[in-house]
Amino acid sequence: VDQGAKVVAEYLPARAGGSSVQADAAVQSLSAGKVVSSDPPYYDNIGYADLSDFFYVWLRRSLRPVFPGLFATLAVPKAEELVATPYRHGSKEKAETFFLDGMTQAMHRLAEQAHPAFPVTIYYAFKQAESDNEAGTASTGWD
């Protein structure tokens, strides 16, 4: 990690400001010609929109004047969140279809938009212990 940080500091000095937007990866054009690196949604593991409501009400109260578009809704938008939650989609099968179709569209769009000189990086850091015997669990490699 230290070596990677040194390389970035030495050869890739920041020359432009950063920005952040909330957009649907399946239809966006914001990544056109950019380096793309993503940590995609975790199927049905974590509903970040539900969790975010806890913080959103307080952030909205103080930051809505600064970012009116980002805090335009009373709660975090959930219908578009790319997670396979049966309670939002009516059944486990419909939730799975929603997730797989959405993830496929998003990955195709990101690949189309990415800078041709750089690879698209997708990392999936789900940590789960697995067992292949009755004695216990085995390391996932993340420990």
Q: Tell me the pLDDT tens digit for each residue of 100-137.
A: 999 999 888 888 888 888 888 888 776 666 666 666 65
Q: Encoding tokens for residue 129?
A: 């212990």
Between the alpha carbon of residue 55 and those of residues 31, 47, 52, 62, the distances in Å are 27, 14, 5, 11
**pLDDT the model gives residue 62:** 93
Going by their DSSP bridges, the two strands 130-133 and 37-38 should be labelled as unpaired
- pLDDT tier at 27 (50, 70, 90 boundaries)? confident
Supply the mean pLDDT for the chain.
81
pLDDT at res. 120: 84
Length of the chain counted residue by residue:
143
98 vs 46, which has greater pLDDT?
A: 98
Q: Provide the pLDDT for residue 113.
A: 84
C-alpha–C-alpha distance, residues 69 and 31, integer Å? 19
Residue 43 has pLDDT above 70, yes or no: yes
pLDDT of residue 42: 79
Q: How far apart are CA 67 and CA 84, in angstroms?
A: 29
pLDDT value of position 135 = 60
Instruction: Categorize the per-residue pLDDT at 51 as very low, low, confident or very high, splitting at 50, 70 and 90.
Output: confident
